[in-house]
Structure 1
């Protein structure tokens, strides 16, 4: 069985940082002898110390906490901690991404995944996101984790770049003896989101205890959750008209606005004429010509319900293997190794492709001819119905009748992607005591990590083939053929887009464009550290010193198929991205004991560290921090730190070429502008020729259609001229452990103030901010990011936004301030033992300055950044029975004040009430080594608030913010743990 060392007892002491007592005490083993003294290393320091307490705010999640949660992915547990913000990538917010589907990342303080450094056993782990540094938590087996340490505040001086917001250090199990098996199954209250898990952990130790090896095999599978199966999240509709200002509760949007279906219908929508004489029509299910109607105001809606196909939670399947070991070479030296391999399969699914003729005929704005010149003679496309032919005119003055269309390509089926990811990480090294010393230790290591991704997708269109297939002429034998002879020789088949299910299998095969994406990330690291105590000391103790170096190489590539790269699959144009960098760093750290066992100074220690880095991309970087720990008496300790951290730009930020995106939730400030309105916004809007054309065509008011709202595209750009950002952070806190008061001896309390300010923060300029500044904000420099249509194109109106771009730059800054509180208590109550832990974070401010010199945009109190977050853990163990509860609280928030121009009066922004969710787990120990458990997540089936499409914070396809709220609902699971 696995013996508990002094390290384990020290970790228990970190209750001052918030570690909860666990109800799984039945699996704890006897402690080591009391006279054993072992120095340990904690997150945030390279020094070995008999004390496991940290001068920096540190919260701990143990293996027992993981077991009590029933999670199969560590992200699901971490997200309940109030220090964590909403992750960029998760199983419930990545279904619509062109890459990264199903990846699970972590985001401390809402400062961004790239500013949260994830470590495994105190060392960097290879990224799971191409071009980024964010680690995919799918690759970490939860049953192999001993504990997770969350350190907030800058830690770059200790660990290097990216630790601006803090560190998540995942400590894997070691010195394990025996075999443990954990298996569980579960599903949601509605019969979906099924999950299966099997985990086997095994290990053995040599007779002398000096060498050991252990391994872990894990398998998990999580099923999908479809949008159509969650009526509370708007499954019957997929778009809302948001042109009118909405105040009060966000739910009032449902009362004041009308639902809309997508204007891209499977039977097609066809346009003829131009200007005020333009007309359009569609078909009913019987093939009859009828007017188009997205919201059913004049009868049954003729649009398309995209939510029928969308996925709230993507299905994920994982195979995990991990191992580590230690080989004793002699009494002073040993070798160690770590290995991890993860294979992850993810499937994403969204609605069939919405094809606009503008995707095919970009040079003409979507206008395509209905006839072809053959030997100088106009030949009509025989597939065009008479109703449309008789109304067509020559709108582009080429002598040929024209039309344009939009159509949902339902015959293609949904757009589906299958993603296979593999992550390998190996680390090995030597550690021990330096020759001729007893107190100086060393560690030297090398590690290699590689993540590969292979993605195949269906449902896209080959634009060139579609253009050939749309140009049809009569065949001499009485049929229809493609007009271009070369295309016919290459297998061209005419395509009939007029009506429901009219595309033949042969035409479908000809115009389909299978997609692919291949990515690779490689990380190589070598480093060494020595630590010990100087031969001379102070009256309070010896001075501790650590120093070392680290060399790191990172490279990344992301390459889509040729059609996707060229934007010829009617979707996002995604050029390839390549990049690499090398960094060499040296660091030093010291701990100076100033006072010990003095009046009003039980102890007073000073800590400091410094790191020098040399990047092949941005040159020299410098990071440092210092802090103190002062305990006037044994029951009270004060702590504080001040740090300067750095973050070098990642490969995507430096080298990403313009990549096409289709952003949602954008509100056009020009909507409603009239020909005579004279405010700054109206004047700036009318400077665009297309806006004036729109106003003239719509009775003097700038008007947008549903197609205009849904049809905004844009490009995301990297910037090779970026420089490293610098984060300045400070923390001040108190730890109260009243052990001298008998009735409070089992109680601990911590309070920590944090202040993080990032200079020259690397950000992408927010699209909505860009629009507000360009139109009425008095900053025309932002207008370079906006492209409006000068004339109508396809189904889009003149003056509507065609491209809303965003670029990466060193902004004017980013920062946050707030307070963390934790309280924990455990003692015998009645016949059993009760433990309780409360963690609470108050967010005073979270701000960013998009460009230097601009005013700060405040986000605290808005969606994804609540001012108040808390989690309460309660556990009671009585004999063989145990119960654990976790209650998560997310405070009231409002929508982004950029929405509907409410930044001058934030109280006008729509509100979202507080959100409370509770999880339960019941355990029963059949014997000492056998435990059954049953759990319920979101036990009271708390519904996610309705944040519908078009609102800021909406996660496409979920009609809520699936990053901040639970979109799935009540879930059950049942499992068995066995230790042998």
Structure 2
């Protein structure tokens, strides 16, 4: 807290927007009926030069030197969506990220990025480079990262920012580390908040999936401001959003673990071996005793006195279909309040203080706990469950002898021979696994800004202080603890001698576990996490000298920032005693000091073939307390051969310091949907290749071919690494903007823009793709890959090492195109067209040793879900006449291909259609607007995906199944 207070004191009242943003936040947004890219926005006569995201020097937005897309309040309202992230993720340059369609807490574990799941949160990912490489600012300042009590994420949770606090969002589609520091490799999202408002604004919206009647969403917004005619400007607001779930049981695509699957007996498999009646695998320990050499289940349950005579061979029909017990859209409830106070202190000095409070309640849900016990259980991470034995005296043991693991609790050999593989049982009696998050976010910024005259020019300065806290608590019901299970299946005498111990019946089938048994072994898991941010920035910008082509502009600044985070899993889980995803505590902090400078040099003006020509540059030096120092730079050239055409090009270097989660993340597990090439199944690499068999045997698979496990989930052990180095990047951007003067007469407008980007990231932080690890070991016999795969004596994968490292380089190239047209007013109304297109030329991931090259363009990665379509586009056509306005939006996603167990699978292209109608009656002084809309009008289902982590489609790319309709009423005084 002392660091936080220091940050506030140093701020002298702390400033709100880094100079660029401060000015931008106070500038009039584009007209509500003219959504357009900032680079080609028409400049109001009274605006003068302003600062727009992408530069800290004030300039005419027509000459913006970076590709920036602006979304104002009307653009957000046109989507009918209640989450800012869902809106941003529709941009063609965006590429997914967490959102309300991602249902994951402990059911598939923590992705191998050190950040935890972030359940219930939402983020933005530009250029397919991961959300951690997109910097999110609020009023030009850093915002505290989110957390959901499952790890230490490196990203801002956009759900923590109330939607009615947003005046506009500026999306810089280019790397900007020299201007903004770490994380701005792919681009910058700058959320500009409301600082000026006169009177009351309110809206209420209700929506749901038409036909199904689920996914009901309520959205209420209220704000008030005292206007700009006062020396003290006050704007205050509140927001409430409640989203109800959509369940997998209610959509055809998610009825079974694979698209189109009708039964667990389908050859594709995928259903869980943790069956409702149990799976008891004794192979291959009783080859000489055929009656005992089997993979058993009980014939019928519940049975409180199971016997060996009641057991039969386990078949695919006994597997458990977990798919109908999940969410397609997770329930989410948010409420928050915000305040902006701006005080005119005279002499061109202003003080602005702004604060945000947001509370989120969210929930994720999964099928009943799959309890696996035994040497081949695959819990990994040193789980006690992998060492347990079933004692012969346990009254429910149907085998009449001890099922012996051969291990001590610490995993070392106990001198007794192992005689069973594993016991799996779905704990139906304990109810579904339910993860409930409660997250509070607090943010306070203060900005002191002013103007002074130096070198016969106006100079603008600002100092800013900020503090932010995000804290989360998660409760998880349905888990059980290993130490008590050990007593309950161990020697009967020991259990009876322990107060409260009740022997556990895992062999009697569904319904055989009594409430008393559950009371002994069950517990409610409580996890918590917190992230803190405190900082101080100072900036100054102005002109230093006049050249024939105009003034030379410069900007300088300093930033100090302190970040800390911690994650505390439940003490039982931290001790390795939980049945679900293992996790270890993690905590860390760092501070950084940065200085930057920027210059703009006009070279020519109003010359033949040079309406204007200028060169710009920026440099930033950052010094991190953990990961060392880094210096980045950018150079930019702008040329207007004629007044209607702007050509620009820039080259920049960038970096991203390792996040706290990547540095200090504790051991956890990610359950990867995968096919093990060493499993002896018909048509598998083991069955068809002698080379594969030899490589697999060398990796620990029995030569007999007894390892025959269907495709399912394999355990990947994730872990941070304190030795990580910063990532580095190079970014080339070329652009052309055509904005003809003739099209801006009579209230009309037309502009078109093309931007080419080429980004290369080196020393990219990540874990080796587990599928690549398995295949390189089995198919190529690569020793380094095989060392990452730890198998049991029966060949089962116990864990795949997913420790983070500076492994890869990423190279991506593409082009963005935007078009905006606004017709003049006619007798039949006014028309508009806005279109955004992204074409992906290249996306290649290369291992640091050059050994593995993955071409992602046109593919679906699957788990963690990510599509890389070659084309993405959206376009909106609007029409207005009198009191009525109508819009039609089309959204296109090109087809992609995934490599599934069945072979290549094409996820066909999708074209979504959204419509909206607004009525603003003159009879009510145009203060009320009534809106009706439908998203996904033609009810297009997402394409089926076999490798995606849940619900058989990629929720980061495609709409949830169903047609969503909504009604809204808005009021503005």
Q: TM-score, normalised by structure 2?
A: 0.87
Q: Deviations over 1:82-104 (max 9, x none)?
A: 00012145443435456421110
Q: Deviations over 1:546-604 (max 9, x none)?
A: 00100000000001111111220122221101111110000000111111111111111
Aligned ranges for residues 15-94 of structure 1 at < 5 Å? 15=36, 17=38, 34=45, 36-51=46-61, 53-88=63-98, 90-94=100-104
Q: Deviations over 1:104-136 (max 9, x none)?
A: 011000101110000111111110035333110
Q: Does 1:564 align with 2:558?
A: no
Aligned ranges for residues 722-741 of structure 1 at < 5 Å? 722-740=724-742
8 Å contact kept, 2:686–2:692: no
Q: Please, which runs of 5 or more residues in structure 1 have no aligned partner?
A: 22-30, 241-249, 296-300, 372-379, 474-482, 698-702, 791-797, 902-907
Q: Following TM superposition, by how much is the alpha carbon of 1:414 offset from its aligned partner in structure 2, in angstroms?
A: 0.6
Q: Check 1:538–1:230 CA distance in 2 against 1; reply closer, same or farther (3 A cut).
A: same
Aligned to 1:523: 533
Aligned to 1:597: 606
Aligned to 1:199: 221
Q: Check 1:548–1:780 CA distance in 2 against 1; reply closer, same or farther (3 A cut).
A: same
Q: Please, which runs of 5 or more residues in structure 2 have no aligned partner?
A: 1-24, 111-116, 304-308, 407-414, 861-866
Q: Following TM superposition, by how much is the alpha carbon of 1:404 offset from its aligned partner in structure 2, in angstroms?
A: 5.3
Aligned partners of 1:779 and 1:398: how far apart in 2?
Answer: 34
Aligned to 1:910: 905
Q: Deviations over 1:718-751 (max 9, x none)?
A: 1111111111001111111122368996321111
Partner of residue 237 from structure 2, selected from 197, 200, 216: 216
Q: Deviations over 1:37-71 (max 9, x none)?
A: 53311001111224354211211212111111121
Aligned to 1:319: 335
Aligned to 2:359: 343
Aligned partners of 1:976 and 1:364: how far apart in 2?
Answer: 56
8 Å contact kept, 1:669–1:772: no
Partner of residue 484 from structure 1, selected from 487, 494, 504: 494
Aligned ranges for residues 224-303 of structure 1 at < 5 Å? 224-231=245-252, 233-235=253-255, 237-238=256-257, 257-259=267-269, 261-272=271-282, 274-276=285-287, 277=290, 278-279=293-294, 280-284=296-300, 289=310, 291=312, 295=316, 301-303=317-319
Aligned partners of 1:53 and 1:841: how far apart in 2?
Answer: 22
Aligned to 1:860: 857
Q: Following TM superposition, by how much is the alpha carbon of 1:369 offset from its aligned partner in structure 2, in angstroms?
A: 3.7
Q: Check 1:568–1:869 CA distance in 2 against 1; reply closer, same or farther (3 A cut).
A: same
Question: Counterpart of 1:460 in 2: which secondary structure?
Answer: strand
Q: Following TM superposition, by how much is the alpha carbon of 1:365 offset from its aligned partner in structure 2, in angstroms?
A: 5.5
Q: Check 1:290–1:146 CA distance in 2 against 1; reply closer, same or farther (3 A cut).
A: same
8 Å contact kept, 1:513–1:569: no
Aligned partners of 2:263 and 2:758: how far apart in 1?
Answer: 36
Q: Check 1:460–1:113 CA distance in 2 against 1; reply closer, same or farther (3 A cut).
A: same
Aligned to 1:147: 168
Q: Check 1:671–1:819 CA distance in 2 against 1; reply closer, same or farther (3 A cut).
A: farther
8 Å contact kept, 2:383–2:577: no
Q: Deviations over 1:743-775 (max 9, x none)?
A: 996321111110000121112211111122222
Aligned partners of 1:932 and 1:469: how far apart in 2?
Answer: 62
8 Å contact kept, 2:202–2:221: yes
8 Å contact kept, 2:743–2:749: no
Aligned to 2:480: 461
Q: TM-score, normalised by structure 1?
A: 0.86
8 Å contact kept, 1:369–1:401: no
Q: Does 1:955 align with 2:914?
A: no
Q: Check 1:365–1:76 CA distance in 2 against 1; reply closer, same or farther (3 A cut).
A: closer
Q: Deviations over 1:396-415 (max 9, x none)?
A: 69599979532111111011
Q: Does 1:946 align with 2:944?
A: yes
Aligned to 1:178: 199
Q: Following TM superposition, by how much is the alpha carbon of 1:238 offset from its aligned partner in structure 2, in angstroms?
A: 2.2
Q: Following TM superposition, by how much is the alpha carbon of 1:206 offset from its aligned partner in structure 2, in angstroms?
A: 5.8
Q: Does 1:965 align with 2:958?
A: yes
Q: Check 1:167–1:260 CA distance in 2 against 1; reply closer, same or farther (3 A cut).
A: closer
Partner of residue 547 from structure 1, selected from 512, 537, 556: 556
Aligned partners of 1:463 and 1:312: how far apart in 2?
Answer: 31
Aligned to 2:700: 689
Aligned partners of 1:920 and 1:394: how far apart in 2?
Answer: 64
Aligned ranges for residues 766-805 of structure 1 at < 5 Å? 766-777=769-780, 779-790=782-793, 798-805=794-801
Q: Does 1:704 align with 2:708?
A: yes
Aligned partners of 1:595 and 1:319: how far apart in 2?
Answer: 53
Aligned partners of 1:500 and 1:517: how far apart in 2?
Answer: 29
Aligned partners of 1:89 and 1:444: how far apart in 2?
Answer: 34
8 Å contact kept, 1:42–1:52: no
Aligned ranges for residues 88-103 of structure 1 at < 5 Å? 88=98, 90-95=100-105, 96=107, 99-103=117-121
Aligned partners of 1:665 and 1:678: how far apart in 2?
Answer: 19
Aligned partners of 1:370 and 1:435: how far apart in 2?
Answer: 86
Partner of residue 650 from structure 1, selected from 643, 659, 684: 659
Partner of residue 516 from structure 2, selected from 500, 503, 506: 506
Q: Check 1:369–1:527 CA distance in 2 against 1; reply closer, same or farther (3 A cut).
A: closer
Q: Following TM superposition, by how much is the alpha carbon of 1:668 offset from its aligned partner in structure 2, in angstroms?
A: 2.9
Question: Counterpart of 2:346 in 1: which secondary structure?
Answer: coil
Deviates more, 1:623-632 or 1:823-832: 823-832
Question: Counterpart of 2:276 in 1: which secondary structure?
Answer: coil
Q: Deviations over 1:461-502 (max 9, x none)?
A: 1111111112364xxxxxxxxx216x6442111222312211
Q: Deviations over 1:641-672 (max 9, x none)?
A: 11001111111111123222222235435655
Aligned partners of 1:728 and 1:399: how far apart in 2?
Answer: 57
Q: Following TM superposition, by how much is the alpha carbon of 1:622 offset from its aligned partner in structure 2, in angstroms?
A: 0.6
Q: Does 1:826 align with 2:822?
A: yes
Q: Does 1:635 align with 2:644?
A: yes
Aligned partners of 1:404 and 1:268: how far apart in 2?
Answer: 11
Aligned partners of 2:918 and 2:32: how far apart in 1?
Answer: 24
Aligned to 1:377: none
Q: Check 1:809–1:833 CA distance in 2 against 1; reply closer, same or farther (3 A cut).
A: same
Deviates more, 1:774-783 or 1:836-845: 774-783
Question: Counterpart of 1:468 in 2: which secondary structure?
Answer: helix
Q: Check 1:687–1:324 CA distance in 2 against 1; reply closer, same or farther (3 A cut).
A: same
Aligned partners of 1:400 and 1:85: how far apart in 2?
Answer: 48
Q: Deviations over 1:278-328 (max 9, x none)?
A: 121323357594645554xxxxx3332212311111100001212212100
Aligned partners of 2:195 and 2:390: how far apart in 1?
Answer: 71
Aligned to 1:123: 141
Aligned partners of 2:548 and 2:799: how far apart in 1?
Answer: 68
Aligned to 2:813: 817
Aligned ranges for residues 708-723 of structure 1 at < 5 Å? 709-710=711-712, 712-723=714-725
Q: Following TM superposition, by how much is the alpha carbon of 1:275 offset from its aligned partner in structure 2, in angstroms?
A: 4.7
Q: Deviations over 1:855-876 (max 9, x none)?
A: 4211010021000100011111
8 Å contact kept, 1:10–1:52: no
8 Å contact kept, 2:934–2:963: yes
Aligned partners of 2:452 and 2:929: how far apart in 1?
Answer: 45
8 Å contact kept, 1:369–1:400: no
Aligned to 1:479: none
**Aligned length in residues:** 899
Give the CA RMSD over aligned residues: 3.0
Q: Does 1:976 align with 2:973?
A: no
8 Å contact kept, 1:93–1:955: no
Aligned partners of 2:319 and 2:679: how far apart in 1?
Answer: 26
